[in-house]
Structure 1
């Protein structure tokens, strides 16, 4: 038996990166397949953008994308700066605006791929993520938002997750109310900052006393929506609140719904609607989504992202198929038949192998199977 090798210099992985060993990798793969199959069944065609792009293209297609968080390098061919993607959504925007600009709308696209960050947050130390999502491009309607939210919930359910809840938000809420009230830009930014920290005292000092009720218009959807309607003097939020109510009606009892109208974390480029999705056993958010505009074309879009490696931790371990040991000289036609029926096979390579130690559950003797 081969002796284990000693650790070599550099064997330790950088902070925020990790190997996924067989059981973890199996959960990730099963969750990814279940989610992609769900998206495909609703007419979302998968695309595969490249891992690297010109930095300027990534920054231009989505407002709020911070390329300073991405790994960058100079392309020796063009001498332009390349960026290793930290978010796939801007790439989908580029594809929709260029290669698929003439495709019929609404355009439904799905994707799944790795992303990387120079530095992660304290709440989520991972610097590499498997990002999966769907984008509905060319429709800025309540129906489109409802489809996207329902699809995200269905995808999580297909991956085996339970206890799903969705938290709605209105990313442009403060801007909409401030336009009504004629506030100065500096005051608007101060109000945003204090609402982010949920600081009632700071909000008063910033000149946002009229915005104090927003701090309490949170919680279970129906109660929070009622409070928001009471706050909405003049009705500038009426269409948005009606939209939230219609989206919630579509979700129905497939998920618990809450509302935090001033939440902005993770919604750097969303417009009137955003949502965060959670599930039992998943640390932090399982995904986020909402409405936005594609930079350059200004085309409306709605989409969501799921963090597959994170949510897979709460997904059930997929069943291991029957694994058949194939001794030297085995019947190759029978082995092919077994694989076609869904079995795994492991062929003998050297004398003295232990089929059980290799994970086998059966052995092929001639054309007969025997359980180990």
Structure 2
């Protein structure tokens, strides 16, 4: 990397210029408005915490991806958050331990990681989401999925699709229906993740091969999964998925990949991934989980989701029209300008004779009778 330019930003970090910054603000506000409307209260955890406390609550999350440094004040190791979810769990378990359940919380802000994900080099990302703490039943899962779809649509996502998964599928089947030795379970999970039928057979999971084909459109895939479940061990899971799908009422395209585990390391019986037309990659994930306790115990049941809207912001910023702005000439009527701002107009005032509406990117000029289009 060339370090000769003193203004060069570190790899994976970038400035958000006016157009994209404005779109990002609108997207985040739209998402938060939807969550607020459904009774979710926003919390604002700090960007930095003691590393020991934060890492202890990151079951299933790669804590080694966090930036760490020594606090000059306490001389203790500190860490920058790479995910909001552990912080929401800490707040629910401590400051809001006595609050009535189910507890509905939401959040929005930036997270930072040491390195990007796969082909995406970004290390700083927006994250926003909601957590329904104290419940992980069908009603909670249905609410969370519906909320995620509504929030993503309000932000500008189009033709949204949701891919369901069952994170504990292998563990459930391995107990009795399709027995596996303890040493085989992780290998079978890995081969199912990579969709490798040959590798699955080599790992001793031949009985699991049909799961590779119980994917795709939800209605067809759930029937294939039901046919595989000869012993009925998945009957409750299958019934729950059908109920969740029915309650969504066609608000998104639904698919099923029951064996998908990537990104669902700490989810329990239900997980989902969000996509939208024109946006490459995953826009969000969610599901049921248990809050990781700082003392190592098993915390409360919860259901939630996280959105990562940066790719959507980039798509929308490139297509959104320029916002109207009124040029205010020298000696303009200040009361008239204030009234315009009060009803939603943006204004840009001239500071010298050299300033012009065109140079300042304005679309209107304040005249005697109000804004006049250029």
How many residue pairs were aligned?
366
Report the counterpart of residue 224 of structure 1 in structure 2. 221
Alpha-carbon contact 1:330-1:366 (below 8 Å) kept: no
Q: 1:210 to 1:193 in 2, by over 3 A?
A: same
Report the counterpart of residue 300 of structure 2 in structure 1. 299
Offset at residue 182 of structure 1 (A): 4.5
* Mapped pair 1:137 → 2:138: no
Q: Deviations over 1:19-75 (max 9, x none)?
A: 111121222111111111111111111111110111222222231121110110111
Offset at residue 365 of structure 1 (A): 4.2
Alpha-carbon contact 1:282-1:310 (below 8 Å) kept: yes
**Structure 1, 362-371 or 203-212: larger mean CA deviation:** 362-371
Alpha-carbon contact 1:105-1:137 (below 8 Å) kept: yes
Equivalent position to 2:348, from 346, 349, 368: 346
Q: Which runs of 4+ in 1 moved over 4 A?
A: 316-321, 365-368
Alpha-carbon contact 1:160-1:315 (below 8 Å) kept: yes
* Mapped pair 1:308 → 2:304: no
Partner Cα distance (1:150, 1:325) in 2: 43
Alpha-carbon contact 1:221-1:258 (below 8 Å) kept: yes
Alpha-carbon contact 1:31-1:315 (below 8 Å) kept: no
SS in 1 for 2:299: coil
Alpha-carbon contact 1:278-1:287 (below 8 Å) kept: yes
**Structure 1, 320-329 or 152-161: larger mean CA deviation:** 320-329
Equivalent position to 1:285, from 279, 282, 285: 282
Residue correspondence of structure 1 range 151-230 to structure 2 within 5 A: 151-180=147-176, 181-230=178-227
Offset at residue 225 of structure 1 (A): 0.9
Alpha-carbon contact 2:330-2:353 (below 8 Å) kept: no
Report the counterpart of residue 239 of structure 2 in structure 1. 242
Residue correspondence of structure 1 range 78-89 to structure 2 within 5 A: 78-89=74-85
SS in 2 for 1:168: strand
Partner Cα distance (1:158, 1:277) in 2: 14
Residue correspondence of structure 1 range 323-342 to structure 2 within 5 A: 323-342=325-344
Q: 1:368 to 1:26 in 2, by over 3 A?
A: closer
* Mapped pair 1:18 → 2:14: yes
TM-score by length of 1: 0.94
Offset at residue 366 of structure 1 (A): 5.4
Equivalent position to 1:270, from 257, 267, 271: 267
SS in 2 for 1:294: strand
SS in 1 for 2:79: strand
Equivalent position to 1:30, from 5, 26, 30: 26
Alpha-carbon contact 1:62-1:90 (below 8 Å) kept: yes
SS in 1 for 2:244: helix
Q: 1:370 to 1:198 in 2, by over 3 A?
A: closer
TM-score by length of 2: 0.93
Q: 1:368 to 1:147 in 2, by over 3 A?
A: closer
Partner Cα distance (1:189, 1:285) in 2: 24
Partner Cα distance (1:177, 1:312) in 2: 41
Partner Cα distance (2:290, 2:87) in 1: 13
Partner Cα distance (1:366, 1:23) in 2: 30
Report the counterpart of residue 256 of structure 1 in structure 2. 253
Offset at residue 247 of structure 1 (A): 0.6
Report the counterpart of residue 3 of structure 1 in structure 2. none
Report the counterpart of residue 71 of structure 1 in structure 2. 67
Alpha-carbon contact 2:127-2:307 (below 8 Å) kept: yes
- Unmatched 5+ stretches in structure 2: none
Alpha-carbon contact 1:74-1:82 (below 8 Å) kept: yes
Q: Deviations over 1:216-236 (max 9, x none)?
A: 111111111111112223221
Partner Cα distance (1:368, 1:59) in 2: 57
